[in-house]
Amino acid sequence: MPISPDIIESLRLELRRGTLILAVLAALRTEKYGYTLRSDLAEQGVEIDEGALYPMLRRLETQGLLTSEWREDAKRQKRFYRLSDDGAAALSQLTEEWRAMNRALEAILKEGMQ
Amino acid sequence: MTDLMERYLAAVKRRLPEEQAKDIIAELREAIGSKIEAKEKALGRAANAGEVAAILKEFGHPVVVASRYSGQDYLIGPNLYPWFWDAQRTGVGLVFAIVVAIAAVRAFASERPIQAVLQGIAGAIEAAIWMFGVITVIFIVLERTKTDVRIAQGWNPKTLPHGNIRAPKPLFDSVFALAFDAILILWWTKVVRLPNEFPWQGNRGLELHLSDAWAPFHTPILVLALVVAAVHVADIVYPAWSRLRSLVSIVGHFWGIAVAGMLYRARPLVDVIVSPGAEDRTRELNAIFEIGLGLAALGWAIGLGVEVWRLLRSLQVGVPGPQAAPKG
């Protein structure tokens, strides 16, 4: 029986969910506002819905991982985000975690291919 | 096409926490504005209503977008859900069983039994819906207040039920027994009234009342019923046999036999009020009750013997109760 596309989509979303935060934190090592952050991530192959991105930025700011300020840019008021010191520490820990997980998964996936 | 965007933002704003709404909407306005601007740049002209609508649709439904700012994704989250489901099964099952049992007893003596059964089923469904609602509200409050429910964290596999003395009691059996206990207690304390009038010889009837022999045992029987109900509640929480449960059970059985014996000596057990013209059946009915009392005493005596045997066996095989589970 072929696997339903809904199941694949739901598994794909589950797989992506945790990695998006890591991508956002990493991308905000340099200051960006929401629209450019999303465009930059998309250019690098990480698509994220705006409806999810902005609440996520706010939540990360509430958690102290990001700082933000409103500033005028190209004649418009924009909210610029960047990684805070706590955010940088969290990013470092999460990166380690991601790399370890990635190494383990790669080994398991290779094993399955042999 | 800012009108469409402003209507969209207003729809989101209505659903946002008031203290954050202004800031969130300013950011969303900027984000959507940037997107429309980029689209217009790519088209080389102003975006039309359809194009703006497509951008807003891609952004997400106002309800969904606003909900993402609430920080509350679940009504009852995955941590609480297993406990919620377990509480529903027990609570709804219990209340349904109690109301159905009371309705069945009432229907038995009703002149319109089918109507009484239907009313009973409707009452049971209503009670079950109420119970479902109450349990749901309790769990929503627990989720909302982020109450730290440590049931799962404090769990110790060593406290899992033993099955070598007696198989753990199925949940259905315990709930059913508890429903029966509840009906008995409610009737004994006169909170509910069960029918005691029965048709006898055509239109004539008779009424059964417990005789004065029961009066001195009102409190002892109530205490016994409460203890039995407490044991059945304990069975739901910890369905395995344990020495403590066995001791309580032995005392209960012994208590039951003693009360039955004293009642037998103080008989007659029931007073019968007979309609004029109906034949007096006091003697026969008392004989039926005496046989019933004797059978109950026999059942308690067998139960007493079985529990004593289990207790002795547990001493031989060394089965710990939950209170004696090894630490660590």
Beta carbons of B254 and B189 less than 8 angstroms apart: no
| pLDDT of B325 | 42
Characterize B130-167 residue by residue with b for buried, 16 or more Cβ atoms within 10 angstroms of its Cβ, and e for exposed. ebeeebeeebeebbeeeeeeeeeeeeeeebeebeebbe
Beta carbons of A67 and A81 less than 8 angstroms apart: yes
Q: Are residues B249 and B310 in the same domain?
A: yes
| pLDDT of B7 | 93
If we measure between CA atoms, which residue out of A87, A90, A93 comes closest to residue A64? A87
Query: Which residues in B lie closer than 8 A to residue A35 (C-beta atoms)?
Result: 30-31, 34-35, 38
| pLDDT of B137 | 95
Beta carbons of B278 and B205 less than 8 angstroms apart: yes
Output B158 or B8, whichever has higher pLDDT: B8
Give the one of B31, B68, B71 whose C-beta lies nearest to A52's C-beta: B68
| pLDDT of B226 | 92
Q: Which residues contact B184 (CB under 8 A, 6 or more apart)?
A: B225
Beta carbons of B76 and B137 less than 8 angstroms apart: no
Which region among A10-24, A99-113, B243-257, B271-285 has the lowest average model confidence (pLDDT)? B271-285
From B24, B51, B68, give the residue that closes a domain: B68
Q: Are residues B143 and B244 in the same domain?
A: no
| pLDDT of B319 | 57
* Interface check A76 vs B, CB under 8 A: yes
Minimal C-alpha gap between B144 and chain A (Å): 17
Q: How far apart are CA B183 and CA A22, in angstroms?
A: 59
| pLDDT of A24 | 95
The total number of structural domains in chain B stands at 3
Task: Give mean pLDDT, residues B44-62.
Answer: 90
Q: How many CB pairs under 8 A join A and B?
A: 47
Q: What is the interface pTM, i.e. ipTM, of the complex?
A: 0.78
Helix (H, G, I), strand (E, B) or coil at A33: strand
Q: Do B35 and A35 touch (CB under 8 A)?
A: yes
Residue span of the structural domain in which B175 resides: 164-328
Task: Give mean pLDDT, residues B239-252.
Answer: 86
pLDDT tens digits, one per residue of B96-108: 888 887 777 777 6
| pLDDT of B291 | 92
From B25, B53, B68, give the residue that closes a domain: B68
CATH of A20-113, one of 3.40.228.10, 3.40.50.1110, 1.20.1080.10, 1.10.10.10: 1.10.10.10
CA of residue B92 relative to chain centroid, distance: 4
Q: Do A51 and B35 touch (CB under 8 A)?
A: no
From B129, B155, B181, give the residue that closes a domain: B155
Q: Where are the beta strands (DSSP E) in chain B?
A: 197-199, 205-210, 270-274
Beta carbons of B216 and B131 less than 8 angstroms apart: no
Q: Are residues B189 and B293 in the same domain?
A: yes
Task: Give mean pLDDT, residues B50-56.
Answer: 91
Task: Give mean pLDDT, residues B273-288.
Answer: 77
| pLDDT of B123 | 86
Query: Which residues in B lie closer than 8 A to residue A58 (C-beta atoms)?
Result: 24, 69
Q: Are residues B50 and B184 in the same domain?
A: no
Query: Which residues in B lie closer than 8 A to residue A33 (C-beta atoms)?
Result: 30
* Interface check B26 vs A, CB under 8 A: yes
Task: Give mean pLDDT, residues B68-80.
Answer: 79
Q: Are residues B272 and B310 in the same domain?
A: yes
* Interface check B179 vs A, CB under 8 A: no
Beta carbons of B265 and B217 less than 8 angstroms apart: no
pLDDT tens digits, one per residue of B10-26: 999 998 888 889 999 99
| pLDDT of B107 | 74
Q: Are residues B171 and B121 in the same domain?
A: no
Q: Are residues B34 and B172 in the same domain?
A: no
Question: At B323, is the pLDDT very low, low, confident or very high (cuts 50, 70, 90)?
Answer: very low
Q: Which of residues 32-51 of A touch B (CB under 8 A)?
A: 33-35, 49-51
Q: Side chain identity at A26, as an amino acid letter? A: A
Residue ranges in chain A whose pLDDT is less than 50? none
Q: Do A58 and B58 touch (CB under 8 A)?
A: no
Query: Which residues in A lie closer than 8 A to residue B35 (C-beta atoms)?
Result: 35, 50
Choose, out of B27, B37, B57, B65, the residue to mutate when testing the contact with A (most A CBs < 10 Å).
B27
Q: Side chain identity at A19, as an amino acid letter? A: T
Q: Side chain identity at B248, as an amino acid letter? A: V
Minimal C-alpha gap between B14 and chain A (Å): 16
In this predicted structure, the answer to whether residue B211 has a pLDDT above a threshold of 80 is yes
**Percent of chain A clearing pLDDT 90 (strictly above):** 59
Which region among A60-74, B243-257, B272-286 has the lowest average model confidence (pLDDT)? B272-286
Question: At B124, is the pLDDT very low, low, confident or very high (cuts 50, 70, 90)?
Answer: confident
Query: Which residues in A lie closer than 8 A to residue B59 (C-beta atoms)?
Result: 49-51
Query: Which residues in B lie closer than 8 A to residue A54 (C-beta atoms)?
Result: 24, 27-28, 31
Q: Are residues B83 and B49 in the same domain?
A: no
| pLDDT of B261 | 92
Question: At B148, is the pLDDT very low, low, confident or very high (cuts 50, 70, 90)?
Answer: low
Q: Are residues B82 and B62 in the same domain?
A: no
| pLDDT of B58 | 87
Q: Are residues B318 and B238 in the same domain?
A: yes
| pLDDT of B326 | 42
Question: What CA–CA distances, in Å, run from B80 to A17, B73, B90, B136, B201?
Answer: 22, 13, 16, 11, 59
Token representation of residue B81? 């859900």
Q: Are residues B6 and B112 in the same domain?
A: no
| pLDDT of B284 | 83
Q: To 5 degrees, how large is the angle CA A44–CA A47–CA A52? A: 135
CA dihedral of residues A50, A51, A56, A58 (deg, nearest 10): 100
Task: Give mean pLDDT, residues B70-74.
Answer: 72
Domain extents for chain A? 20-113
* Interface check A77 vs B, CB under 8 A: yes
